[in-house]
Chains A and B, each alone.
Chain A
Amino acid sequence: MMNQASEAWSEFKAMDELAGQASVIHRLHPLVKLLVTIVYIAAAVSFPKYNLSGLLVMVLYPVFVFQASLIPIRTCFRKMRVVLPLVCAVGLFNPFFDRAPLFMLGGLAVSGGVVSMLSLMMKGIFSLMASFLLIATTPIESLCQALRQMHVPKILVTLLLLTYRYISVLLEELSVMLDAYHLRAPGQKGIHVSAWGAFLGQLLLRSMDRASALYESMQLRGWSGAFYYVRGGRLTVTSLLYGVFWIALFLLARLVNLSQLLGTLLV
Chain B
Amino acid sequence: MHMADALLAPAVAATMYAASAVATGVSIRELRKDETPQKLPTMAVMAALVFAGQMINYAIPGTGSSGHLCGGMMLTAVLGPFAGFLSMIVILAIQALFFADGGLLALGANIWNMSFYGCFAGYFLIYRPILRGGLFSGRGRRAAVRLRIILASVLGCVATLQLGAFSVVLETALSGVTELPFGAFVAVMQPIHLAIGLVEGLVTAAVLVFIYESRPELLMDVDPDAGAAGRRSAASTLVVLAVVVAVVGGGFSLLASGNPDGLEWSMFGNAESGYSANMGLDEARFGVESSAADTVAALQEKVSFLPDYAFANDAENPVGTTVSGLLGSALVAGAALLIAFAGGFFRKKAGAQKS
A contact set with B: CB distance below 8 Å: 3-5, 7-8, 11-12, 15, 37-38, 41-42, 45-46, 49, 52-53, 56-57, 59-60, 63-64, 66-68, 70, 79-80, 82-101, 103-105, 107-111, 113, 116, 120-121, 123-124, 127-128, 130-132, 134-135, 143, 153, 155-156, 158-160, 162-167, 169-171, 173-174, 178, 188-193, 196-205, 207-208, 210-212, 214-215, 218, 223-225, 257-264, 266-267
B248 at interface (Cβ–Cβ under 8 A)?
Answer: no
B residues in contact with A4, CB < 8 Å: 55-57
* Contact assessment for A83 and B4 in the assembled complex, using a CB-CB cutoff below 8 Å: yes
A123 to B178 CA separation, bound complex (whole angstroms): 13
Residue-wise, chain B 71-105 has the 8 Å CB interface mask toward A (1 for contact) of 00000001000000011011101101111111111
* Contact assessment for A85 and B275 in the assembled complex, using a CB-CB cutoff below 8 Å: yes
Across the A-B interface, the 10 shortest Cβ-Cβ residue pairs: A67-B343, A263-B324, A263-B328, A197-B206, A190-B57, A259-B328, A201-B210, A162-B44, A85-B274, A197-B210
A residues in contact with B275, CB < 8 Å: 85-86, 89
Residue of B nearest to A69 (CB): B343
Give the most central of A52, A66, A153, A190: most B CB within 10 Å: A190
A residues in contact with B103, CB < 8 Å: 41, 83, 127-128, 131
B306 at interface (Cβ–Cβ under 8 A)?
Answer: yes
Residue of B nearest to A80 (CB): B100
* Contact assessment for B4 and A87 in the assembled complex, using a CB-CB cutoff below 8 Å: yes
A201 to B98 CA separation, bound complex (whole angstroms): 26
B43 at interface (Cβ–Cβ under 8 A)?
Answer: yes
B residues in contact with A37, CB < 8 Å: 104
Q: Kindly specify which of B118-126, B157-165, B252-260, B332-340 makes contact with the partner chain.
A: B332-340
* Contact assessment for B61 and A193 in the assembled complex, using a CB-CB cutoff below 8 Å: yes
A38 to B5 CA separation, bound complex (whole angstroms): 11
Output the least CB separation between B51 and chain A (Å).
5
A residues in contact with B10, CB < 8 Å: 42, 45-46
Known A52-B329, A79-B100; judge A211-B179 contact (CB<8 A).
Answer: no
Q: Kindly specify which of B131-139, B222-230, B315-323 makes contact with the partner chain.
A: B315-323
* Contact assessment for A163 and B325 in the assembled complex, using a CB-CB cutoff below 8 Å: no
B residues in contact with A218, CB < 8 Å: 41
A4 to B280 CA separation, bound complex (whole angstroms): 12
A residues in contact with B93, CB < 8 Å: 160
B48 at interface (Cβ–Cβ under 8 A)?
Answer: yes
B residues in contact with A88, CB < 8 Å: 274
Known A45-B6, A86-B275, A98-B179; judge A166-B45 contact (CB<8 A).
Answer: yes
* Contact assessment for A60 and B6 in the assembled complex, using a CB-CB cutoff below 8 Å: no
B247 at interface (Cβ–Cβ under 8 A)?
Answer: no
Label chain B's interface by main secondary structure.
Answer: helix
A21 to B9 CA separation, bound complex (whole angstroms): 34
Label chain A's interface by main secondary structure.
Answer: helix
* Contact assessment for A163 and B48 in the assembled complex, using a CB-CB cutoff below 8 Å: yes
A246 to B137 CA separation, bound complex (whole angstroms): 65
Known A45-B8, A83-B103, A104-B314; judge A156-B90 contact (CB<8 A).
Answer: yes
A-B contacts counted at CB < 8 A amount to 387
B278 at interface (Cβ–Cβ under 8 A)?
Answer: yes
* Contact assessment for B37 and A225 in the assembled complex, using a CB-CB cutoff below 8 Å: yes
B297 at interface (Cβ–Cβ under 8 A)?
Answer: no
Q: Which of B41, B203, B346 contacts A215 (CB 8 A)?
A: B41
* Contact assessment for A93 and B179 in the assembled complex, using a CB-CB cutoff below 8 Å: yes
B242 at interface (Cβ–Cβ under 8 A)?
Answer: no
B residues in contact with A264, CB < 8 Å: 324, 328
Known A85-B275, A93-B267, A104-B312; judge A160-B90 contact (CB<8 A).
Answer: yes
A-B contact pairs, 18 of them (CB 8 A): A4-B56, A8-B52, A42-B13, A45-B8, A56-B329, A110-B307, A124-B4, A127-B6, A153-B28, A155-B40, A171-B52, A178-B56, A200-B69, A200-B203, A207-B48, A208-B45, A208-B218, A211-B46
Residue of B nearest to A201 (CB): B210
Residue of A nearest to B342 (CB): A67
Residue of A nearest to B299 (CB): A96
Known A85-B275, A91-B178; judge A128-B100 contact (CB<8 A).
Answer: yes
Residue of A nearest to B14 (CB): A42
Output the least CB separation between A80 and chain B (Å).
6
* Contact assessment for A101 and B312 in the assembled complex, using a CB-CB cutoff below 8 Å: yes
Residue of B nearest to A43 (CB): B10
* Contact assessment for B55 and A197 in the assembled complex, using a CB-CB cutoff below 8 Å: no
Q: Which of A64, A96, A207, A262 contacts B267 (CB 8 A)?
A: A96
B209 at interface (Cβ–Cβ under 8 A)?
Answer: yes
Given contacts A4-B55, A38-B105, A208-B215, 16 further A-B pairs with CB under 8 A are: A7-B55, A8-B52, A45-B8, A86-B278, A98-B179, A162-B45, A163-B91, A163-B94, A166-B45, A170-B45, A170-B48, A171-B51, A197-B209, A199-B56, A225-B40, A260-B325
A88 to B178 CA separation, bound complex (whole angstroms): 11
B170 at interface (Cβ–Cβ under 8 A)?
Answer: no
* Contact assessment for B41 and A211 in the assembled complex, using a CB-CB cutoff below 8 Å: yes
